[in-house]
Chains A and B, each alone.
Chain A
Amino acid sequence: MSPGQVGFRLDLTQPPVTDGPSAPQEALRELYGLLGYQMVETAAFAGSNPGKPVSPRSEGETVWRMSRVLPAVNFAKSHPLPPVSGLPAPADDPYAGISTGGGQTAISTARAAVWFRDVYGNSSDVDPAARQAGVRP
């Protein structure tokens, strides 16, 4: 993982392939086979807009794998290095957000909200920001 990146991975049981009609639960899982995500604001990182949904990738015959690397550094709230002409811009600091500053270490955390989506744009949940605003799925 490059500096400034965080990632997640989700493994799902692949819905069985059948010749006839699928069971409702399996049909739903097959339809909602995309993973939506967005970064949620934490003490160290700002929230983001929803990203492009992640498509599943087959791992063997039974597993769907969904993974995404997020450029968390782009959402860091603090940049410890000073802006000085002639030196690299603080915004380019790949370690921004890791330290909370003040010479004391506290483990920063980035947070991602995930949900399922279908190819038509329907979600299994609204995005977290909308939920915080009182929107119900």
Chain B
Amino acid sequence: MSSEVAASGVLDLAVGYTDPVIALGAWPQTTAEFSVSPAVGGGATLSVGLSFQSSALVAAPTEPAGAGAARALDLSTRFDRIYFQVGQPDVSLSLSTSLNQPAGGSPIPLAGPLGGLRAQAAAASAFAATAATLRTLTADPAVTATLGDVVSHYGLDWPALASANGLRTLGELIVGTAAALPVFAVFKAGDTTASLCPPELTVSTVLADPDNTVLPLTAGIELAIPARTLTPDAALSLNAIAAAAKVTPASLVRANAATTGLLRPGFVFTGQGVEVEVALKAPDSEVSLDEIAQTFFDNGVPWNTVMVAVANGETLPGMFRDGASLNLDRYIIQADETLAANGSGASLTELAARNGTTVDLFPAGAPVFLSAPATAPLDMPLAEIATAYGVESGELLRHNAGAVLKAAGVLVLPGVGVLPASPQTLRIPYGIPPRRSLEAISGRFLKAEELRTPVQGLVAANAALPGTVAGGQTIVVQGQSIATQDGDSFEAVVARADPPITLDQLADAIADEPDVLAPGGLLLCPPAQLASGSGTTPSQVGLRYSVTASALLAANAATPGLIQPGVTITAPASEGSVSLVTAAADSVNAILRRFARAGAAVTIDGLAQANLNVGMLAAGALLLLPRRCAGWRPASARPAGCCPARSSPCAAGSVSSATSTWSIRPSGPAGRPGLGRGGGQRGGRAAQHRRDRPEDRA
């Protein structure tokens, strides 16, 4: 500061990197892993891999596609920043790891090429930008007339449909002036269904309602069933007979207490020092259990029939004679049984008619559906109705399954997102596999440009992208030989031509060449389109696009039109033998939900692995593709300091722990403001996930 100031001046302002680098561990939806393997000739090879979890960028099963798109847009912004950071020409990458640390010294940084990271950042940025364009799909009354049609056509479940439409009112969704509002009563300990029902309802009707016939019953409680007879093995005890018939001994005794001619002559009942023997010969042998109990009572033992019989329930041989026909009118509920599905042998109607007064028929907390009067408010959002009336919004919709949809574009379909009207302008990443020509690749995607051939369009779309052309090749275009270099773009090859050539001429010249494209390089392509006749199993389609079946399904969990209708798919064996048939317009998200509601916790990976060879994918579907895991190997493939005390190669299992630190920084002179660096954490065995953290601020 000075009081004497020149009339004007020129300020030189140093520029530099002022924000922290986004370290690998902070890359969204990206996991890094490394592995150490023996190297030929000793030492060890350290490999680092990055993989991108694309499923978080598309809608989850219960949310509208717009929610996933908003998430993708946010991540797209972050990936853009990463893309700009690692793309700068003066940025370098190194890896410091205790795997490459001499005894008593510091880790020796391993330099690595940035190409893989740059391609990964570009791929993630492009995928996120495309995922951000996915739009919410809505029901069309011309296709699905009622709410029930929507659920069955798209394979949805009611809670998911309600969740995605929680802000809509019934009046917006359906035609009519009234809607059903389901009324439930919560079962408490000691309750009976009859005690919960208001007088105007018939108890048997309530029990027979489909809502209640699928409720789990209380295991161990006895159902009342129509009487039937049982001829037991006379050698068995009372208790053994009851257990085999899934009834309590007491119930079995009560059902047969007054029946004569059942007891085995000579059987001796004992109790409190009194013995009562069944007479050996008729007519005295034709006594009933009630009469036996009366005899005990007459001799000073105040037991009822059940007490007398149960006290002798283990006695062998049993108390019943050969050929005795026992009555049976109870059934002990087994685990997971319902009124609709149980081992009692009785029909639903018979059970509903007899169990209105069965105590604790349902476990405490079970919602017993009573009725659905047409009193649902039409002008209140579904979510608010759920709060105000204590009813789940999914149940509300289900009880209006027959209601006709009011208009197109209103009812949101959860978990599916549709690409915009001109998808060919979008770009998704495609990792170039070895020996694949442009002609072979271009046929797997939408055409990039109308006025060019598919190959020309693909080349034009990727003209400036570095690393697409393999180095060391000689390309002949228009009679001119052009040598390629590592990292070349199509544009770079064209620029090297003398006399000049056009991009289209280059594209035509290399269209069928399998070795011109750089394996592992990145192409940005329009959305993929599954062609007919090219295989429809996850395994086949994954192979076609050089991604795993799991990654393919994850990236397309919300893709409509991907799933072939009417195909039986199964859950992994670990989830039991659960299978389902795909719906007319199914999606991966909807399938996962249906498996979950069937009790099978199926992940996308599990779905893919269990159905690898099932023709479940539909031709014509537009696909999003994630880039296959990017591999990276430090410049020193054999860390010099790894296992210095060993003469043998450093085997994977011998590495018990390691600390690694990533560093991405400008390669310029010291003192230059730097991008910063990412720190690592302790790793473990051969393949360990590890994360980095942004550390420095320049």
Q: Which B residues are CB-close (under 8 A) to A128? A: 10
Name A's interface SS. loop
Say how far B428's CB is from chain A's closest CB, in angstroms: 8
New A-B contacts (8) at CB < 8 Å, excluding given A81-B83, A97-B15: A6-B13, A86-B129, A88-B84, A94-B81, A105-B90, A110-B15, A113-B11, A116-B7
Residue of A whose beta carbon sits closest to that of B77: A88
Interface string of A75-114 (1 = CB under 8 A from B): 0000011111111100011110111011111111111111
**Is B466 among interface residues, defined by CB-CB distance under 8 A?**
yes
B8 touches A111 (CB 8 A): no
Please determine whether B89 and A99 come into contact, CB atoms closer than 8 angstroms. Answer: yes
Name which residue of chain A comes closest to B462, CB basis. Answer: A84
With A and B bound together, what is the CA distance between A70 and B11 in angstroms?
Answer: 12
Residues B17 and A111 in contact, CB atoms below 8 Å apart: no
Q: Which residues of A contact B8 (CB under 8 A)?
A: 113-116, 124-125, 137
11 contacting pairs across A/B (C-beta < 8 A): A72-B15, A81-B84, A87-B122, A92-B80, A94-B81, A99-B90, A107-B15, A107-B669, A113-B9, A113-B10, A113-B11
Q: Is A88 touching B80 in the complex (CB atoms < 8 A)?
A: yes
In this complex, the member of B1, B14, B489 whose beta carbon has the largest number of chain A beta carbons within 10 angstroms is B1
Q: Once the chains are docked, how many angstroms separate the CA of A16 from the CA of B13? A: 31
Closest-CB distance, B504 to chain A (whole angstroms): 17
Contact present for A8 and B672 (CB under 8 Å): no
A115 to B184, CA, bound (A): 79
Which residues of A lie under 8 Å from residue B126 when comparing CB positions?
A: 86-87
User: What is the CA–CA distance of A92 and B85 in the complex, to the nearest angstrom?
Assistant: 12
CB neighbours (8 Å) of A99 from chain B are: 88-90, 666
Contact among A103, A111, A137 with B89 in the assembled complex (CB-CB below 8 Å) = A103
B3 near A: Cβ within 8 Å?
yes
User: Which residues of chain A come closer than 8 Å to B18, judged between CB atoms?
Assistant: 1-3
Asked if A115 and B465 sit within 8 Å, CB to CB, the answer is: no
Interface string of A52-85 (1 = CB under 8 A from B): 0000000000010000001010000000111111
Q: Nearest chain-B residue to A65 (Cβ)?
A: B1
Q: Does A12 contact B (CB under 8 A)?
A: yes
CA distance A111 to B16 in the complex (A): 14
Given that A1-B18, A82-B465, A87-B122 are contacting pairs, would A95 and B13 also be in contact in the complex, using a CB cutoff of 8 Å? no
Q: B81 — which chain A residues lie within 8 A by C-beta?
A: 94
Alpha-carbon gap, A105 to B666, bound state (A): 8
A110–B10 alpha-carbon span in the complex (Å): 10
Residues in A neighbouring B89, C-beta threshold 8 A: 80, 99, 101-103
- Count residues on chain B whose CB falls below 8 Å from chain A CBs: 49
Q: Is A7 at the interface (CB under 8 A from chain B)?
A: yes
CB-nearest residue of chain A to B127:
A86
Assembly CA distance A67 to B466 (angstroms)? 41
Central interface residue in B9, B15, B89, B462, by most chain A CB within 10 Å: B15
Asked whether B493 is an interface residue with its Cβ less than 8 Å from the other chain, the reply is no
Which chain A residues border B462 with CB–CB below 8 Å? 84
CB pair A82–B461 under 8 Å, yes or no, is no
A81 touches B130 (CB 8 A): no
Contact across chains for A98 and B461 when beta carbons are under 8 A apart: no
Interface size class of A (residues with CB under 8 A): 35 or more
Q: Which of A21-73 contact B (CB under 8 A)?
A: 29, 40, 44, 63, 70, 72
Least CB separation from B425: chain A residue: A85
Give A107 to B17 CA distance when docked, in angstroms: 11
Residue of B nearest to A13 (CB): B3
Closest Cβ of chain B: how far from A136's Cβ, in Å?
Answer: 12
What's the minimum C-beta distance from B622 to chain A, rounded to whole angstroms? 16
| Interface mask (B645-669 → A, CB under 8 Å = 1, otherwise 0) | 0000000000000000000001111
A36 to chain B, nearest CB (A): 9
Contact B16 A86 (CB under 8 A): no
- A82's partner among B14, B16, B464 (CB-CB below 8 A) is B464
Scan residues 120-147 of chain B and give those whose CB is less than 8 A from a CB of chain A.
122, 125-126, 129-130
CB distance from A43 to the nearest CB of B (A): 12
CA distance A44 to B667 in the complex (A): 19
The reply to whether B125 and A7 contact each other, CB–CB distance below 8 Å, is no
Look across to chain A and name the residue whose beta carbon is closest to the beta carbon of B464: A82
- B426 at the A interface (CB under 8 A): yes
User: Judging by beta carbons under 8 Å apart, are A7 and B13 in contact?
Assistant: yes
CB <8 Å contact, A80 and B672: no
Q: Which residues of A contact B84 (CB under 8 A)?
A: 81, 88, 92-95
- Check: B644 CB closer than 8 A to any chain A CB: no
B448-462 at interface with A (beta carbon < 8 Å): 461-462
Least Cβ–Cβ distance between B296 and chain A, in angstroms: 92
Within 8 Å by CB of B15, from A108, A115, A116, lies A108
- Type the 1/0 row for B663-679, where 1 means its CB is closer than 8 Å to any CB of A: 00011110010000000
Task: Give Cα A101–Cα B466 distance, bound, in whole angstroms.
Answer: 15
| Binary A-proximity of B204-231 (CB < 8 A = 1, otherwise 0) | 0000000000000000000000000000
Q: Which residues 465-490 in B have Cβ within 8 Å of A in the complex?
A: 465-466, 489
Q: Is the CB of A107 within 8 A of B465?
A: no
Asked if A111 and B12 sit within 8 Å, CB to CB, the answer is yes
| Closest CB in chain A relative to B132 CB, distance in Å | 12
Chain B residue nearest in CB terms to A89:
B80
- A63-B1, A86-B129, A99-B90 as given contacts; A109 in contact with B12, CB under 8 Å: yes
Given contacts A82-B464, A98-B88, A101-B89, contact A107 B1 (CB under 8 A): no
Q: Decide yes or no: A11 and B1 within 8 Å by CB, A88-B83, A105-B672, A112-B10 being known contacts.
A: yes
Is A125's CB under 8 angstroms from B7's CB?
yes
Q: Is B638 an interface residue (CB 8 A)?
A: no
Residues of B within 8 A of A103 (CB): 89-90, 667
CB-based nearest B residue for A84: B465
Interface residues of B in 12-56 (CB under 8 A from A): 12-19
Which residues of chain B are within 8 angstroms of A98 by Cβ–Cβ distance? 15-17, 88, 90
A137/B12 in contact, CB under 8 A? no
Is the CB–CB distance between A105 and B427 below 8 Å?
no
Most-contacted residue by chain B among A29, A85, A110 (CB, 10 A): A85
A12 CB to closest chain B CB, in angstroms? 6
* Given A88-B84, A95-B88, A97-B15; A107-B426 close (CB under 8 Å): no
**Can you list the 9 inter-chain pairs with the closest CB atoms, starting with the nearest?**
A86-B427, A105-B668, A125-B8, A82-B464, A115-B8, A124-B7, A105-B90, A6-B13, A99-B90
Q: Is B672 a contact partner of A107 (Cβ separation < 8 A)?
A: yes
Q: Is B514 an interface residue (CB 8 A)?
A: no
In whole angstroms, how far apart are the Cα atoms of A108 and B85 in the complex? 17
On whether the beta carbons of B11 and A80 are closer than 8 Å, the reply is: no
When chains A and B are docked, how far (Å) is the Cα of A81 from the Cα of B80? Answer: 12
Q: Does the CB pair A6–B19 fall under 8 Å?
A: no
With known contacts A101-B89, A103-B89, A82–B17 Cβ distance under 8 A? no
A80 and B87 form a contact (CB under 8 A):
yes
